[in-house]
Amino acid sequence: MERDYKKWASGLIKGKVLFDAPMRQFTSMQVGGPADSLFFPRDVNELKKVVRYARRKKIPLLILGRGTNLVVRDRGVRGWVISLAQGMKKIQMDGEVVDAEAGLSLQRLIQFSVQKGLTGLEPFFGIPGTVGGGLAMNAGAWGSELKDVLLSVTLMKEDGEILEKSRSKLRFSYRGLAIPSSWIILKGRFKLKTGKREEILERVRSYSEMRKKRQPLDYPSAGSVFKNPEEGPAGKWIEEAGLKGFRIGRAMVSERHANFIINLGKAKAEEVIRLMEFVEKKVYEGKGISLEREVKVVGES
Ligand SMILES: Cc1cc2nc3c(=O)[nH]c(=O)nc-3n(C[C@H](O)[C@H](O)[C@H](O)COP(=O)(O)OP(=O)(O)OC[C@H]3O[C@@H](n4cnc5c(N)ncnc54)[C@H](O)[C@@H]3O)c2cc1C
């Protein structure tokens, strides 16, 4: 039965299918147990096949970008995980308008725009996710958000229907985009501006330097753990609670940036999650501030 299932699921698409896929290898935090099945569709048609089948059989789906904003629990993910990061990475340009498929890395999109002398994406240099993950999270840095340079998003519904929505029809928020959880982002259309290549490159370099100074990039992490509350940066409140360097097992609040939890090596998801809860409790007790999570915790506990 098990062998039959694997044979059948592998035959569903030409792209790769992994079973009991260790999610620590597919997430930047490098924690978490296996996903039952992990599909890498090669194009929209293959994606549609997987999505429709899952719907018919009521199999839960999780869309994975580069896993840079995810903490997967230790027992892993039941159901199917779909990664667009191997097959759906095309990029096209028409004047100042750039179309990028969801599986393309944001870094690649930025490199492309620099090469073409297009400006607008520089602040996002160093955000390690995909275009799809960036739009789903409305990723941002240095006062800019991805939605600021967006014209439209192409989406797939759970029945495989594809639709394009202009930015004005989409509800973006701070680190979020309100779409039904079963919808998949296929593509973003961005409106950039013509600029001077050397100047664009210079801005990219300076954002990159600022990032290196402030973020603990030499350890696995999922970026900022908490959203910045109205009262000010989350990192400031965590630092004031005396939590820099605080550890649970192999998970530690970064000494460099208190809003980062880093994996010192072989951390368990449970340690990361307990540390998140501890930080929430201490900041609430000390300052009366409720921190809201930016990272998404997924999987079976
Ligand atoms: C070192 C470091 C620095 C970071 N710096 C920043 C920063 O400056 N600013 C910032 O905003 N973030 C930052 N992040 C967090 C993270 O990189 C962003 O949130 C990024 O946009 C997530 O993209 P991803 O492809 O990795 O998405 P994932 O982590 O794989 O997924 C995130 C969420 O998006 C959903 N999703 C992914 N792809 C799709 C899709 N195609 N359709 C529908 N839903 C989808 C997932 O289901 C999940 O809910 C940082 C992370 C790290 C590790």
Q: Identify whether 246 is part of a domain.
A: yes
CA 246 to ligand 1 centroid distance, Å:
25
At residue 266, the pLDDT reads 97
CA 5 to ligand 1 centroid distance, Å:
31
Q: Identify whether 211 is part of a domain.
A: no
CA 96 to ligand 1 centroid distance, Å:
25
CA 284 to ligand 1 centroid distance, Å:
26
Which candidate in 122, 175, 189, 254 is catalytic?
175
Helices (H), the chain: 2-12, 44-56, 106-115, 131-137, 197-214, 234-240, 269-287
User: Considering only CA atoms, which residue is closest to atom 10 of ligand 1?
Assistant: 139
* Atom of ligand 1 at shortest range from CA of 139: 11
* Atom of ligand 1 at shortest range from CA of 146: 11
Q: Which residues contact 126 (CB under 8 A, 6 or more apart)?
A: 107, 141, 207, 208, 211, 215
Q: Residue 153: which CATH number?
A: 3.30.465.10
Q: Is 68 in the pocket of ligand 1 (CB under 6 A)?
A: yes
**Under 8 Å between Cβ of 133 and 121:** no
User: Considering only CA atoms, which residue is closest to atom 43 of ligand 1?
Assistant: 184
Mutate to test the pocket of ligand 1, among 26, 69, 217, 254 (most ligand atoms within 8 A of CB): 69
CA pair distance 15, 10, nearest whole angstrom: 8
Is 181 in the active site?
no
Q: In Å, how far are 65, 90, 226 from 149, measured between CA atoms?
A: 20, 19, 24
Q: Residue 249: which CATH number?
A: 3.90.78.10
CA pair distance 255, 243, nearest whole angstrom: 9
**Under 8 Å between Cβ of 225 and 261:** yes
User: What is the rounded radius of gyration, in angstroms, for the C-alpha atoms of the chain?
Assistant: 20
**Under 8 Å between Cβ of 257 and 212:** no
- CA contacts within 13 A on the Cβ side of 176: 14
User: Considering only CA atoms, which residue is closest to atom 12 of ligand 1?
Assistant: 139
Are both 252 and 162 inside the same structural domain?
no
Compute the Cα dihedral for 199, 203, 209, 213 and give only its sign. positive
Number of domains in the chain: 3
**Domain containing residue 78:** 2-83
For residue 67, which of 222, 277, 241, 210 has the smallest C-alpha distance?
222
CA 2 to ligand 1 centroid distance, Å:
33
**Residue 182 identity (one-letter amino acid):** S
Instruction: Give the pairing of strands 251-253 and 260-263.
Output: antiparallel
At residue 143, the pLDDT reads 94
* Atom of ligand 1 at shortest range from CA of 140: 11
Q: What is the model's pTM? A: 0.97
Q: H/E/C letters for each residue in 47-59?
A: HHHHHHHHHHCCC
pLDDT digits (tens), the chain, 301 positions: 577 888 989 999 999 999 999 999 999 999 999 999 999 999 999 999 999 999 999 999 999 999 999 999 999 999 999 999 999 999 999 999 999 999 999 999 999 999 999 999 999 999 999 999 999 999 999 999 999 999 999 999 999 999 999 999 999 999 999 999 999 999 999 999 999 999 999 999 999 999 999 999 999 999 999 999 999 999 999 999 999 999 999 999 999 999 999 999 999 999 999 999 999 999 999 999 999 999 999 999 8
- Whose tokens are 């809860």? That residue is 277
CA pair distance 189, 252, nearest whole angstrom: 38
Determine if residue 194 is left, alpha or beta; phi over 0 gives left, psi from -120 to 50 gives alpha, anything else beta: beta
> How many residues would you count in the chain?
301
Domain boundary among 200, 227, 252: 200
| Centroid of chain to Cα 97 | 23
At residue 1, the pLDDT reads 54
User: Considering only CA atoms, which residue is closest to atom 47 of ligand 1?
Assistant: 63
Is 175 in the active site?
yes
Token representation of residue 229: 């509350």
Q: Is 47 in the pocket of ligand 1 (CB under 6 A)?
A: no
Q: Identify whether 210 is part of a domain.
A: no
CA pair distance 191, 146, nearest whole angstrom: 11
Are both 27 and 60 inside the same structural domain?
yes
Q: Is 87 in the pocket of ligand 1 (CB under 6 A)?
A: no
Are both 99 and 173 inside the same structural domain?
yes
Is 24 in the active site?
no
For residue 137, which of 225, 69, 72 has the smallest C-alpha distance?
69
Domain boundary among 52, 83, 114: 83
Q: Identify whether 207 is part of a domain.
A: no
Q: Count the Cβ atoms, other than its own, within 10 Å of residue 130.
A: 32
User: Considering only CA atoms, which residue is closest to atom 50 of ligand 1?
Assistant: 223
Are both 95 and 194 inside the same structural domain?
yes
Q: In Å, how far are 148, 180, 217, 238 from 136, measured between CA atoms?
A: 14, 11, 23, 26
Q: Identify whether 208 is part of a domain.
A: no
